[in-house]
Protein backbone atom coordinates (compact mmCIF):
# COMPACT_ATOMS: atom_id res chain seq x y z
CA UNK A 1 0.00 0.00 0.00
CA UNK A 2 2.88 2.34 0.81
CA UNK A 3 4.49 1.68 -2.60
CA UNK A 4 1.15 2.32 -4.32
CA UNK A 5 0.77 5.63 -2.51
CA UNK A 6 4.33 6.65 -3.42
CA UNK A 7 3.66 5.81 -7.08
CA UNK A 8 0.56 8.02 -7.09
CA UNK A 9 2.50 10.89 -5.53
CA UNK A 10 5.31 10.59 -8.09
CA UNK A 11 2.81 10.54 -10.92
CA UNK A 12 0.97 13.54 -9.51
CA UNK A 13 4.23 15.41 -9.03
CA UNK A 14 5.37 14.68 -12.57
CA UNK A 15 2.06 15.96 -13.94
CA UNK A 16 2.17 19.15 -11.88
CA UNK A 17 5.74 20.04 -12.82
CA UNK A 18 5.42 19.13 -16.49
CA UNK A 19 2.20 21.13 -16.87
CA UNK A 20 3.75 24.06 -15.04
CA UNK A 21 6.78 23.98 -17.33
CA UNK A 22 4.67 23.80 -20.48
CA UNK A 23 2.40 26.61 -19.33
CA UNK A 24 5.22 28.91 -18.31
CA UNK A 25 7.06 28.33 -21.58
CA UNK A 26 3.90 29.05 -23.58
CA UNK A 27 2.96 32.10 -21.55
CA UNK A 28 6.42 33.67 -21.66
CA UNK A 29 6.95 33.04 -25.39
CA UNK A 30 3.44 34.27 -26.22
CA UNK A 31 3.89 37.45 -24.20
CA UNK A 32 7.48 38.10 -25.27
CA UNK A 33 7.44 37.25 -28.98
CA UNK A 34 3.84 37.87 -30.03
CA UNK A 35 2.24 40.33 -27.63
CA UNK A 36 5.08 42.32 -26.11
CA UNK A 37 4.82 45.31 -28.44
CA UNK A 38 1.05 45.57 -27.93
CA UNK A 39 1.37 45.51 -24.13
CA UNK A 40 4.15 48.10 -24.22
CA UNK A 41 1.98 50.46 -26.27
CA UNK A 42 -1.05 49.83 -24.06
CA UNK A 43 0.86 50.57 -20.85
CA UNK A 44 2.28 53.77 -22.35
CA UNK A 45 -1.19 54.99 -23.35
CA UNK A 46 -3.02 53.96 -20.18
CA UNK A 47 -0.33 55.48 -17.93
CA UNK A 48 -0.17 58.61 -20.13
CA UNK A 49 3.53 58.04 -20.68
CA UNK A 50 4.43 57.96 -16.97
CA UNK A 51 5.55 54.32 -17.00
CA UNK A 52 7.21 52.12 -19.58
CA UNK A 53 6.93 48.38 -20.22
CA UNK A 54 9.99 46.17 -20.56
CA UNK A 55 8.99 43.30 -22.83
CA UNK A 56 11.26 40.68 -21.21
CA UNK A 57 10.62 41.64 -17.60
CA UNK A 58 6.91 42.14 -18.25
CA UNK A 59 6.55 38.70 -19.83
CA UNK A 60 8.39 37.09 -16.92
CA UNK A 61 6.36 38.87 -14.21
CA UNK A 62 3.00 38.17 -15.86
CA UNK A 63 3.92 34.51 -16.33
CA UNK A 64 4.88 34.13 -12.68
CA UNK A 65 1.67 35.85 -11.52
CA UNK A 66 -0.45 33.59 -13.73
CA UNK A 67 1.37 30.55 -12.38
CA UNK A 68 0.67 31.67 -8.80
CA UNK A 69 -3.01 32.04 -9.68
CA UNK A 70 -2.94 28.47 -10.98
CA UNK A 71 -1.46 27.21 -7.72
CA UNK A 72 -4.23 28.93 -5.78
CA UNK A 73 -6.89 27.48 -8.09
CA UNK A 74 -5.30 24.05 -7.78
CA UNK A 75 -5.45 24.16 -3.96
CA UNK A 76 -9.05 25.36 -3.95
CA UNK A 77 -10.39 23.01 -6.62
CA UNK A 78 -8.52 19.87 -5.47
CA UNK A 79 -8.94 18.29 -8.86
CA UNK A 80 -7.58 14.77 -9.38
CA UNK A 81 -4.29 14.42 -11.22
CA UNK A 82 -6.06 13.22 -14.35
CA UNK A 83 -7.75 16.62 -14.66
CA UNK A 84 -4.96 18.77 -13.20
CA UNK A 85 -4.54 20.83 -16.40
CA UNK A 86 -8.03 22.24 -15.90
CA UNK A 87 -6.60 24.33 -13.07
CA UNK A 88 -4.86 26.42 -15.76
CA UNK A 89 -8.12 27.60 -17.30
CA UNK A 90 -8.48 30.73 -15.10
CA UNK A 91 -4.86 31.69 -15.82
CA UNK A 92 -5.35 31.10 -19.54
CA UNK A 93 -8.53 33.17 -19.41
CA UNK A 94 -6.67 36.07 -17.80
CA UNK A 95 -3.90 35.73 -20.37
CA UNK A 96 -6.47 35.89 -23.17
CA UNK A 97 -8.15 38.98 -21.71
CA UNK A 98 -4.81 40.70 -21.11
CA UNK A 99 -3.60 40.18 -24.68
CA UNK A 100 -6.89 40.82 -26.50
CA UNK A 101 -5.79 44.36 -27.31
CA UNK A 102 -5.90 46.14 -30.65
CA UNK A 103 -5.51 49.72 -31.85
CA UNK A 104 -9.14 50.59 -31.05
CA UNK A 105 -8.94 49.12 -27.54
CA UNK A 106 -5.77 51.11 -26.86
CA UNK A 107 -7.25 54.42 -27.97
CA UNK A 108 -10.67 53.81 -26.39
CA UNK A 109 -10.24 51.48 -23.41
CA UNK A 110 -12.85 48.74 -23.25
CA UNK A 111 -13.15 45.12 -22.13
CA UNK A 112 -15.50 44.46 -25.03
CA UNK A 113 -17.33 41.14 -24.98
CA UNK A 114 -15.19 39.90 -22.07
CA UNK A 115 -17.60 41.70 -19.72
CA UNK A 116 -20.06 38.83 -20.14
CA UNK A 117 -17.92 36.12 -21.75
CA UNK A 118 -15.45 35.86 -18.84
CA UNK A 119 -18.14 35.39 -16.10
CA UNK A 120 -19.92 32.84 -18.28
CA UNK A 121 -16.70 30.86 -18.74
CA UNK A 122 -15.95 30.95 -15.00
CA UNK A 123 -19.44 29.70 -14.12
CA UNK A 124 -19.10 26.86 -16.62
CA UNK A 125 -15.65 26.14 -15.22
CA UNK A 126 -16.94 25.80 -11.65
CA UNK A 127 -19.61 23.37 -12.82
CA UNK A 128 -16.99 21.41 -14.75
CA UNK A 129 -14.72 21.19 -11.68
CA UNK A 130 -17.60 19.82 -9.59
CA UNK A 131 -18.42 17.25 -12.27
CA UNK A 132 -14.79 16.08 -12.66
CA UNK A 133 -14.29 15.71 -8.91
CA UNK A 134 -17.34 13.48 -8.69
CA UNK A 135 -16.41 11.37 -11.69
CA UNK A 136 -12.74 10.80 -11.00
CA UNK A 137 -10.20 10.66 -8.18
CA UNK A 138 -6.57 9.79 -7.57
CA UNK A 139 -7.65 6.48 -5.98
CA UNK A 140 -9.28 5.26 -9.21
CA UNK A 141 -7.73 2.63 -11.43
CA UNK A 142 -6.51 5.40 -13.76
CA UNK A 143 -4.05 6.54 -11.09
CA UNK A 144 -2.08 3.32 -11.56
CA UNK A 145 -1.37 4.07 -15.25
CA UNK A 146 0.87 7.09 -15.79
CA UNK A 147 -0.07 7.36 -19.47
CA UNK A 148 -3.76 7.65 -18.69
CA UNK A 149 -2.86 10.48 -16.31
CA UNK A 150 -0.46 12.44 -18.51
CA UNK A 151 -2.15 12.37 -21.92
CA UNK A 152 -5.46 13.95 -20.80
CA UNK A 153 -3.55 16.79 -19.13
CA UNK A 154 -1.40 17.49 -22.16
CA UNK A 155 -4.46 17.41 -24.42
CA UNK A 156 -6.30 19.85 -22.15
CA UNK A 157 -3.29 22.20 -22.07
CA UNK A 158 -3.00 22.01 -25.85
CA UNK A 159 -6.61 23.08 -26.35
CA UNK A 160 -6.27 25.86 -23.76
CA UNK A 161 -3.22 27.19 -25.60
CA UNK A 162 -5.06 26.87 -28.88
CA UNK A 163 -7.97 28.83 -27.43
CA UNK A 164 -5.70 31.68 -26.32
CA UNK A 165 -3.94 31.75 -29.67
CA UNK A 166 -7.25 31.70 -31.57
CA UNK A 167 -8.33 35.05 -30.18
CA UNK A 168 -8.34 37.59 -33.04
CA UNK A 169 -4.98 39.30 -33.19
CA UNK A 170 -4.04 42.80 -34.29
CA UNK A 171 -2.86 43.12 -37.86
CA UNK A 172 0.74 42.35 -38.71
CA UNK A 173 1.18 45.96 -39.85
CA UNK A 174 0.20 47.23 -36.38
CA UNK A 175 2.77 44.90 -34.82
CA UNK A 176 5.38 46.19 -37.30
CA UNK A 177 4.52 49.76 -36.34
CA UNK A 178 4.93 49.11 -32.62
CA UNK A 179 8.18 47.16 -32.97
CA UNK A 180 9.67 49.76 -35.30
CA UNK A 181 8.62 52.49 -32.87
CA UNK A 182 10.25 50.68 -29.94
CA UNK A 183 13.52 50.11 -31.80
CA UNK A 184 13.62 53.78 -32.79
CA UNK A 185 13.18 54.80 -29.16
CA UNK A 186 16.05 52.43 -28.34
CA UNK A 187 18.07 54.16 -31.10
CA UNK A 188 18.43 50.91 -33.03
CA UNK A 189 17.73 52.53 -36.39
CA UNK A 190 19.19 49.72 -38.47
CA UNK A 191 16.98 47.18 -36.71
CA UNK A 192 13.95 49.45 -37.03
CA UNK A 193 14.43 49.68 -40.80
CA UNK A 194 14.44 45.88 -41.07
CA UNK A 195 11.08 45.27 -39.37
CA UNK A 196 8.66 43.70 -41.85
CA UNK A 197 10.89 44.68 -44.76
CA UNK A 198 9.77 41.67 -46.83
CA UNK A 199 6.07 42.44 -46.49
CA UNK A 200 4.12 44.32 -49.14
CA UNK A 201 1.68 45.55 -46.52
CA UNK A 202 2.30 48.89 -44.91
CA UNK A 203 0.57 51.95 -43.47
CA UNK A 204 1.28 55.66 -43.52
CA UNK A 205 2.60 55.51 -39.96
CA UNK A 206 4.80 52.47 -40.56
CA UNK A 207 6.28 54.16 -43.62
CA UNK A 208 6.96 57.34 -41.61
CA UNK A 209 8.79 55.33 -38.95
CA UNK A 210 10.83 53.42 -41.52
CA UNK A 211 11.79 56.57 -43.40
CA UNK A 212 12.84 58.25 -40.15
CA UNK A 213 15.03 55.24 -39.33
CA UNK A 214 16.63 55.47 -42.78
CA UNK A 215 17.13 59.21 -42.40
CA UNK A 216 18.93 58.73 -39.07
CA UNK A 217 21.36 56.47 -40.95
CA UNK A 218 21.72 58.94 -43.83
CA UNK A 219 20.08 56.47 -46.21
CA UNK A 220 16.67 58.03 -46.89
CA UNK A 221 17.23 58.99 -50.53
CA UNK A 222 19.35 55.90 -51.13
CA UNK A 223 16.78 53.34 -50.00
CA UNK A 224 13.51 55.26 -50.31
CA UNK A 225 11.96 52.79 -52.74
CA UNK A 226 13.17 49.64 -51.03
CA UNK A 227 9.83 49.84 -49.18
CA UNK A 228 6.22 50.07 -50.40
CA UNK A 229 5.20 53.70 -50.83
CA UNK A 230 1.40 53.85 -50.89
CA UNK A 231 0.89 57.25 -49.26
CA UNK A 232 2.97 59.70 -51.25
CA UNK A 233 4.68 62.42 -49.25
CA UNK A 234 2.41 61.62 -46.26
CA UNK A 235 4.53 58.52 -45.87
CA UNK A 236 7.44 60.77 -44.93
CA UNK A 237 5.79 63.35 -42.71
CA UNK A 238 2.25 64.41 -41.97
CA UNK A 239 2.16 67.46 -39.71
CA UNK A 240 -1.63 67.24 -39.58
CA UNK A 241 -1.30 64.00 -37.59
CA UNK A 242 -1.56 65.15 -33.98
CA UNK A 243 -2.15 61.76 -32.32
CA UNK A 244 -1.16 61.96 -28.69
CA UNK A 245 -1.24 58.28 -27.77
CA UNK A 246 1.92 57.33 -29.68
CA UNK A 247 5.36 57.08 -28.15
CA UNK A 248 6.95 58.60 -31.27
CA UNK A 249 5.07 61.38 -33.05
CA UNK A 250 5.37 63.59 -36.10
CA UNK A 251 6.81 66.30 -33.83
CA UNK A 252 9.79 64.04 -33.14
CA UNK A 253 10.38 63.82 -36.89
CA UNK A 254 10.09 67.61 -37.12
CA UNK A 255 12.71 68.03 -34.41
CA UNK A 256 14.99 65.75 -36.44
CA UNK A 257 14.45 68.07 -39.41
CA UNK A 258 15.38 71.20 -37.49
CA UNK A 259 12.33 72.57 -35.69
CA UNK A 260 9.03 71.63 -34.11
CA UNK A 261 5.94 72.28 -36.18
CA UNK A 262 3.71 75.05 -34.82
CA UNK A 263 -0.01 74.54 -34.48
CA UNK A 264 -0.67 77.22 -37.07
CA UNK A 265 1.10 75.16 -39.75
CA UNK A 266 -1.49 72.87 -41.30
CA UNK A 267 0.38 71.35 -44.25
CA UNK A 268 3.70 69.58 -44.58
CA UNK A 269 4.57 71.64 -47.66
CA UNK A 270 4.21 74.81 -45.64
CA UNK A 271 6.45 73.34 -42.92
CA UNK A 272 9.21 72.51 -45.43
CA UNK A 273 8.99 76.01 -46.91
CA UNK A 274 9.39 77.68 -43.52
CA UNK A 275 12.23 75.45 -42.34
CA UNK A 276 14.16 75.61 -45.61
CA UNK A 277 13.65 79.37 -45.72
CA UNK A 278 15.45 79.71 -42.41
CA UNK A 279 18.90 78.70 -41.27
CA UNK A 280 17.62 75.86 -39.10
CA UNK A 281 17.45 73.24 -41.87
CA UNK A 282 19.96 70.42 -42.22
CA UNK A 283 20.83 67.68 -44.70
CA UNK A 284 17.96 65.57 -43.39
CA UNK A 285 15.49 68.37 -44.11
CA UNK A 286 16.75 68.60 -47.67
CA UNK A 287 16.34 64.89 -48.35
CA UNK A 288 12.88 64.84 -46.78
CA UNK A 289 11.85 67.73 -49.01
CA UNK A 290 13.35 66.35 -52.22
CA UNK A 291 12.00 62.86 -51.53
CA UNK A 292 8.55 64.32 -50.88
CA UNK A 293 8.68 65.88 -54.35
CA UNK A 294 9.56 62.51 -55.84
CA UNK A 295 6.77 60.76 -53.95
CA UNK A 296 4.27 63.33 -55.19
CA UNK A 297 5.76 62.95 -58.70
CA UNK A 298 6.48 66.66 -58.87
CA UNK A 299 9.48 66.09 -61.13
CA UNK A 300 9.73 69.62 -62.52
CA UNK A 301 10.07 71.09 -59.03
CA UNK A 302 12.49 68.31 -58.06
CA UNK A 303 14.68 69.12 -61.06
CA UNK A 304 14.60 72.82 -60.14
CA UNK A 305 15.33 72.33 -56.43
CA UNK A 306 18.01 69.62 -56.65
CA UNK A 307 20.90 71.96 -57.68
CA UNK A 308 20.00 74.32 -54.83
CA UNK A 309 20.95 71.74 -52.22
CA UNK A 310 23.44 69.49 -54.04
CA UNK A 311 26.49 70.98 -55.75
CA UNK A 312 26.23 69.68 -59.31
CA UNK A 313 28.78 72.02 -60.84
CA UNK A 314 30.67 70.79 -63.91
CA UNK A 315 33.89 71.46 -62.00
CA UNK A 316 33.07 68.62 -59.60
CA UNK A 317 33.99 65.25 -61.13
CA UNK A 318 31.26 62.65 -60.67
CA UNK A 319 28.83 65.09 -59.04
CA UNK A 320 25.80 63.31 -60.49
CA UNK A 321 27.25 59.85 -59.80
CA UNK A 322 27.52 60.75 -56.12
CA UNK A 323 23.83 61.57 -55.83
CA UNK A 324 21.67 59.12 -53.82
CA UNK A 325 20.11 56.32 -55.87
CA UNK A 326 16.55 57.69 -55.84
CA UNK A 327 17.75 61.01 -57.29
CA UNK A 328 19.76 59.37 -60.08
CA UNK A 329 16.82 57.15 -60.99
CA UNK A 330 14.53 60.18 -61.04
CA UNK A 331 16.90 62.06 -63.37
CA UNK A 332 16.89 59.15 -65.79
CA UNK A 333 13.09 59.14 -65.63
CA UNK A 334 12.94 62.89 -66.31
CA UNK A 335 15.49 62.91 -69.11
CA UNK A 336 14.98 62.32 -72.81
CA UNK A 337 14.34 58.57 -73.06
CA UNK A 338 16.62 57.76 -75.99
CA UNK A 339 19.59 59.34 -74.22
CA UNK A 340 18.64 58.09 -70.76
CA UNK A 341 18.82 54.52 -72.08
CA UNK A 342 22.48 55.25 -72.80
CA UNK A 343 23.08 56.72 -69.35
CA UNK A 344 23.02 60.35 -70.49
CA UNK A 345 20.91 62.79 -68.50
CA UNK A 346 19.50 65.12 -71.13
CA UNK A 347 16.75 67.50 -70.08
CA UNK A 348 15.42 69.79 -72.74
CA UNK A 349 18.39 70.88 -74.81
CA UNK A 350 20.90 70.48 -71.96
CA UNK A 351 23.11 67.46 -71.43
CA UNK A 352 23.68 67.50 -67.70
CA UNK A 353 25.86 64.46 -67.23
CA UNK A 354 26.63 60.90 -68.26
CA UNK A 355 26.26 58.43 -65.43
CA UNK A 356 29.12 56.00 -64.86
CA UNK A 357 26.85 53.62 -62.91
CA UNK A 358 26.57 51.17 -65.79
CA UNK A 359 24.65 48.68 -63.70
CA UNK A 360 21.86 51.21 -63.04
CA UNK A 361 21.76 52.26 -66.70
CA UNK A 362 21.57 48.61 -67.82
CA UNK A 363 18.77 48.03 -65.34
CA UNK A 364 16.90 51.06 -66.68
CA UNK A 365 17.13 49.62 -70.19
CA UNK A 366 15.97 46.21 -68.96
CA UNK A 367 13.02 47.81 -67.20
CA UNK A 368 11.83 49.65 -70.28
CA UNK A 369 12.35 46.66 -72.58
CA UNK A 370 10.57 44.28 -70.21
CA UNK A 371 7.68 46.70 -69.71
CA UNK A 372 7.24 47.00 -73.48
CA UNK A 373 6.74 43.22 -73.84
CA UNK A 374 3.74 43.10 -71.46
CA UNK A 375 0.35 44.07 -72.82
CA UNK A 376 -1.98 43.23 -69.92
CA UNK A 377 -1.90 46.04 -67.35
CA UNK A 378 -2.32 43.89 -64.25
CA UNK A 379 0.33 41.45 -65.39
CA UNK A 380 2.63 44.33 -66.24
CA UNK A 381 2.22 45.88 -62.79
CA UNK A 382 2.96 42.66 -60.96
CA UNK A 383 5.71 41.24 -63.10
CA UNK A 384 7.65 44.48 -63.34
CA UNK A 385 7.25 44.91 -59.58
CA UNK A 386 9.00 41.60 -58.93
CA UNK A 387 12.14 42.79 -60.69
CA UNK A 388 11.98 46.57 -60.47
CA UNK A 389 9.61 47.35 -57.58
CA UNK A 390 12.39 49.03 -55.61
CA UNK A 391 13.04 51.67 -58.28
CA UNK A 392 11.62 55.13 -58.83
CA UNK A 393 10.79 54.15 -62.40
CA UNK A 394 8.27 51.55 -61.27
CA UNK A 395 6.86 53.90 -58.63
CA UNK A 396 6.44 56.72 -61.13
CA UNK A 397 4.75 54.48 -63.73
CA UNK A 398 2.57 52.19 -61.65
CA UNK A 399 2.14 53.28 -58.01
CA UNK A 400 -1.24 54.92 -58.60
CA UNK A 401 -2.56 51.85 -60.43
CA UNK A 402 -1.29 49.38 -57.84
CA UNK A 403 -3.42 50.35 -54.84
CA UNK A 404 -2.72 48.69 -51.51
CA UNK A 405 -1.11 45.28 -51.60
CA UNK A 406 -0.23 44.16 -55.07
CA UNK A 407 -2.22 41.44 -56.78
CA UNK A 408 -0.24 38.28 -56.35
CA UNK A 409 0.57 36.19 -59.41
CA UNK A 410 2.10 32.83 -58.63
CA UNK A 411 5.59 32.48 -59.94
CA UNK A 412 5.92 29.98 -62.72
Last residue within a domain, chosen from 247, 281, 296: 296
d(CA 392, CA 371): 14
Q: 35 with 101, same domain?
A: yes
Q: Is 266 found in the same domain as 340? A: no
In which band, very low, low, confident or very high, does the pLDDT at 406 lie, cut at 50, 70 and 90? very low
Q: Is residue 309 part of a domain?
A: no
The H or E element spanning position 354 is strand 350-354
Residue-wise pLDDT for 120-174, tens only, equals: 999 999 999 999 888 765 445 555 567 778 889 999 999 999 999 988 678 899 9
The domain boundary residue, chosen from 113, 136, 170: 170
Q: Helices then strands (H, E): number in the chain?
A: 20, 2
Tens digit of pLDDT for each residue in 95-106? Answer: 999 998 877 777
What lies within 8 Å, CB to CB, of 20 at 6+ separation is 67, 70
Handedness of CA 354, 358, 362, 367 (dihedral sign): negative
Residues 157 and 210 in one domain: no
Q: For residue 339, give its domain range.
A: 323-404
Same domain membership, residue 146 and residue 64: yes
The reply to whether 41 and 156 lie within a common domain is yes
Query: Quick check: is 412 in a domain?
Result: no
Whether 408 has a pLDDT exceeding 50, the answer reads no
Of 170, 194, 228, the last residue of a domain is 170
Q: What is the pLDDT of residue 1?
A: 46
Span 302-325, pLDDT tens digits: 999 999 999 998 888 889 999 999
Residues 157 and 218 in one domain: no
Q: Into how many domains does the chain fold?
A: 3
The model's pTM is: 0.86
Quick check: 352 and 412 in contact, CB under 8 A? Answer: no
Average pLDDT over residues 322-350: 94
The answer to the question of residue 237 being in a domain is: yes
Considering the domain architecture, whether residues 280 and 336 belong to the same structural domain is answered as no
- From 25, 40, 173, select the one nearest 98 (Cα to Cα): 40
Q: What is the model's pLDDT at position 5?
A: 55
Amino acid sequence: MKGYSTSIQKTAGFIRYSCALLFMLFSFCYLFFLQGEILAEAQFVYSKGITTYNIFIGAAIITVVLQIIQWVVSMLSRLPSRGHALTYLPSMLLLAILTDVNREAIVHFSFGAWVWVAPAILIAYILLVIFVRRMDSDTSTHAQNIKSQIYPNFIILFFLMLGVGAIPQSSDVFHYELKTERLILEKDYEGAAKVGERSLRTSARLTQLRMYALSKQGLLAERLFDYPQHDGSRGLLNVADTSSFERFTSQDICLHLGAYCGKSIKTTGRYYKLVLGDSIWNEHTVDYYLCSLLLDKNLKEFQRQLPRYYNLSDSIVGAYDNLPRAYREALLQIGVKQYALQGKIVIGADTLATLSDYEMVARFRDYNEFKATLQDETECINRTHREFGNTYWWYCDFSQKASGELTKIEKD
